[in-house]
Amino acid sequence: MLAKIISRSVTGLFTLLMVSLVIFVSTQFLPGDAAVTLLGDNATEEALSHLREELGLNEPAVTQYLRWVGGIVQGDFGVSQTLGLPIGTILGDRFIASLQLTILTILVAAIVAIPLGVLSAIGQGSTIDRTVLSISYLGISIPDFVFGPLLIVAFALPPLALLPSSGYVPLSDDPLAWLRHMILPVTALTAVLTAHLVRQTRSGMLEVLKSDYVRTARLKGLPERQVLWRHCLRNGLATTLTVLALDLGFVMGSIVVIEEVFAYPGIGRLTVFAIGDRDIPLIQATTLVIAATFVVANILADIAHSMLNPKLE
């Protein structure tokens, strides 16, 4: 297992290095001049050239890339061009806020979707199955930028006015207020994810239910509950775990929209701002952090998959 962890980590690091290269090259091709964006259109040529020098924009691209990667290795993401603040300090709190949103979303989605997917698979063709499938179609069909505002109208505005419509309170400040602020954005993110996960779990379970070893277990006369718990779920869940890890990427993408709708101070909103203001170091840092989260989640899913299904070793 240790060898597998090391091997997966090395692969992950290599992937991240490639991702960093893609991010860097892509940002080099963005149109416009970062110095002009930063100083505005009234900037003098003298000021522009001073700033270009200061930002290292006149250096060869290879030097810029190596300096950037070297800084990241030492925990230095550079300075935001538009905010004039070290990116590490801007990113830290926002990453934690987004991670809370993501983990909560994945947890809720898993808790809701896995039992529904299993139930749906067991009762294939039944009313439950058809209902679950119909609802999941609905979930997939409604985009999150529509669902988010709908939730605000339904639950944050009178007559219900049950929950705050926007913002964030740190967990350490007030756990109850934290939870109240998380409910709507998590629900918006969970809706689409749950729909997707239900369908994946259902498919995985159906495949397992039709497998030879399940048929053998049933022929051996094992009670159905034991067949399901001991033989089906363990193998069915392995697939679901992989899907969940892949869905993490989807959630990290969706938070860009959801954080904007709910004014949630996370990394998604920061990315929108960075792109809008062409803040290249910030775009590079946020994109790399999102990519790193995705890679780490996949490594963890791989490891968990192996633990659940030792045959894969």
Q: How far apart, in whole angstroms, are the C-alpha atoms of residue 68 and residue 88?
A: 13
Distance (Å, rounded) from C-alpha 268 to C-alpha 258?
8
Among 27, 37, 306, 309, binds other proteins (CB under 8 A): 37
Count of CB atoms within 10 A of residue 234's CB?
13
Residue 31 or 60 having the CB closest to other proteins: 31
CA separation (Å) from 166 to 103, 174, 189, 260? 19, 16, 15, 9
Given the structure tokens 């290599």, which residue do they identify? 14
Q: Give dist(CA 10, CA 295) in Å, integer.
A: 11
* Binding pattern for the stretch 163-202 against other proteins, x by CB under 8 A and - elsewhere: -xxxx-----------------------------------
Identify which of 41, 71, 43 has the alpha carbon closest to the alpha carbon of residue 56. 71
Number of Cβ within 10 Å of residue 200's Cβ equals 21
Dist. CA 25–CA 19, nearest whole Å: 10
Q: Which of residues 65-84 bind other proteins (CB under 8 A)?
A: 82-84
Residue numbers 229-268 binding other proteins by CB under 8 A: 260-263, 265
Contact with other proteins (CB under 8 A) among 32, 60, 125, 159? 32
The answer to whether the CB of 151 falls within 8 A of the CB of 70 is no
Least distance CB 143 / other proteins (angstroms): 14
Pattern of binders to other proteins over 98-127, x per CB under 8 A? ------------------------------
Angle at 285 between CA 280 and CA 287, to 5 degrees: 95
**For residues 147 and 294, which CB has a smaller minimum distance to other proteins in the complex?**
147
User: Nearer to other proteins by C-beta: 32 or 60?
Assistant: 32
Q: Which stretch binds other proteins (CB under 8 A): 18-26, 55-63, 146-154, 298-306?
A: 146-154
294 binds other proteins (CB under 8 A): no
Query: Which residues contribute to the site for other proteins (CB under 8 A)?
Result: 30-33, 36-37, 39-44, 46-48, 50-51, 82-85, 90, 93, 149, 152-153, 156-158, 161, 164-167, 260-263, 265, 269-270, 273, 275-278
